[in-house]
A and B are shown apart, each in its own frame.
Chain A
Amino acid sequence: MLFRFIALNGVTIQRILSKNYCSKVPSKPVSTVQNDDKNKICIDPSTITLLERLSLVKYDTPKGIKVLEDSITFANKILHINTDNIEPLYTTLENENLNLRPDKITQGNCQKDILKNATVKEDDYFVAPTGNIPLLEIENKELPLKATNKNEN
């Protein structure tokens, strides 16, 4: 009982001493570890072409290239931080075991469902145009264009 009283009192005294509540929230912005070095990034036309082929999207407007360059500049803010001997964190569940399920078929017979959302189909198949033709057309057509865009920048 006596013990409890003292403990309680201890806490109370501590509280009274720190009555200045607002002090816990910092009154000024706290500086960050990121680097605000704004070195301009320039992406060459061949990289843009490569990225477009990898991404299978066209993105050759001057504005588009600027967005890409800005995003890289933004990312560069953290490159200076020391991460030696730090392991990458791929998932926050890295310490959890993955559940194993019995090796039994639980899904299937859903051909109709799977084909339902396809715009073009033939019998029970998805339909695609001829494959294995790289986006050469686009590349050839647009490389000179990209070069001019670059110059405008």
Chain B
Amino acid sequence: MNKLSSYTIKEIHRAYRDKILTPTSFVDLCLQKAIQSIELNAFTTITDDEAESHAIESEKRLYVDRKPKTLDGITIGIKDNFCTSNIPTTCGSEMLKNFVPTYNATVYARLRKAGACLVGKCNLDEFAMGSGTVDSIFGPTRNPWQYERNNWKIAGGSSGGSAVAVTTGSCVAAIGSDTGGSTRNPAALCGVVGLKPSYGLVSRYGLIPLVNSMDVPGILTRDIDDCVAVLNSVAGPDDLDSTTIKRDYKPIEIQDIDMSSVKIGIPKEYHCEGMDREVINTWSYVSDILEKENCIVKQVSLPYSSVSIVVYSILNQCEVASNMARYDGIEYGLRTDETYSTEELYASTRLQGFSEVVRSRILTGNYFLLTRNYNKYFIKALKLRRLISDDFNKVFNGENKVDLLLTPTTLSDAPSYEDFSLKNNRDQCAFQDFCTQPANMAGIPAVSIPIRLSKNGLPLSLQLMGPMFSEELMLNVAKKIESIVKFPSFDNTTLADKFVKI
């Protein structure tokens, strides 16, 4: 029975039709996985009541009405920075610990409408500011690969909870968010697929903002087919988000594509200082595979990509300074007992509600936004953002253009918590987001695909990027790579043995 928790959506639906499995029994199985792996800390809330009632609805549609929906009985996890009606949404912060939204984020509403069952809300770095899922008031999320109670690897972040929930089979798919790599990074370190869609393809309504012009909801699944199924049910225009593209969404199909017509670029600047040898080898390995598949593979240059991280650090902190202004303790969230003045109440609430990482980003952001610094830093960063974005335009549209880019996702396999904690938050992000951040600058789609295991037995992943709204080609090529490399997925059947309670 246990193996069922690594089934794909297609296999699960077949099992439902053949009545080997029912939505309620499958949901129970997933909840069981979530409990067995509780030590990994993937969830901030496990929503067992909701999951069970959602499963009963699915069961009725499947067996009584005989009108199943596309994701009926498919279990999902939602990162805890997406609003879910009547279910706490904390952002991993003291500030929103008591916050219970009265409305649903569009992605969650659409997944529910397609029949998905919510298993829980997933852990994250506070307000999604991080690349390790180590800065949450609920404690760090732990990577299931090579897990030892006293020596464990980080899950990556900031959507680490979502990645671990999918890896352990606690859910089939999870929603993350991606501003600088927060979906692709944990997907890469946990050995699952992580998609960052084009900016404007998937609604941000109900996603608590970090950097509005770069945030996108991300999708984490165990394979490309599942990722496409989830994307097809959440993508498309939304009246509640003015930044979604108002053209109708055409569902993506995975089919056998002619690889000889695909041109792949290898951007040389992505081989940066500090990149692990094993990562480079994996990159060459897949580049070779694509050539053997008759793709045209050539080296390209994206010179401004290398400053993406620094530019991002400026823009991120500026937007954080502005976005975090809403947390004052009056309308929602934490409120201290301070009664001397409104300003004192604001300041003491924000001191108590935000971690040092969040407060330092607010303060630094306000420094860059001071009248005397505004042009020097903020406008400068926005100009460089155009240069970074123009680089992509050139390789996708200029002479000698390519269709997709192949790069590593992270610079190494998952670091141990001990090593990772030695660095401060900014250096952690600067290191881990190097390859993923540029796609957010340009708004283009990117997907991280697990390739093989490192000598430490940890997942190594690569990233494909494409021009705006090229998800169809990108995911078809990703599917091709997936079918050739046959990544040895995490064996979640042994979870129960691994985490025997003492």
Contacts and interface: CB of A to CB of B under 8 A. Distances in A.
B243 A93 contact: yes
Interface in B32-84: none
A24 B468 contact: no
A55 B242 contact: no
Interface centre among A22, A30, A113 (most CB of B within 10 A): A30
B113 interface: no
B266 interface: yes
Contact of B298 (A24, A34, A110, A117): A24
Given A33-B306, A83-B387, A129-B338, A135 B287 contact: no
A138 B345 CA distance: 12
Given A24-B298, A75-B377, A129-B338, A30 B271 contact: yes
Interface residues of A, number: 71
Contacts of A113: 102-103
B329 interface: yes
Contact of B426 (A71, A86, A91): A71
B297 interface: yes
B206 to A, nearest CB: 14
Contact of B307 (A11, A22, A78): A78
Interface string B328-344: 11111111001111111
B342 A130 contact: yes
A26 B362 CA distance: 38
Given A70-B426, A93-B199, A134-B343, A86 B383 contact: yes
Contacts of A118: 330-332
21 contacts: A25-B280, A29-B272, A32-B269, A33-B304, A54-B366, A55-B366, A56-B328, A56-B347, A56-B350, A59-B363, A70-B426, A71-B426, A75-B381, A78-B307, A78-B380, A81-B307, A90-B213, A118-B330, A129-B338, A129-B339, A130-B342
Interface of A: 11, 15, 21-30, 32-34, 43, 47, 50-52, 54-59, 64, 67-68, 70-72, 74-75, 77-79, 81, 83, 86-93, 96, 98-99, 101, 110, 113-114, 116-120, 126-135, 137-138
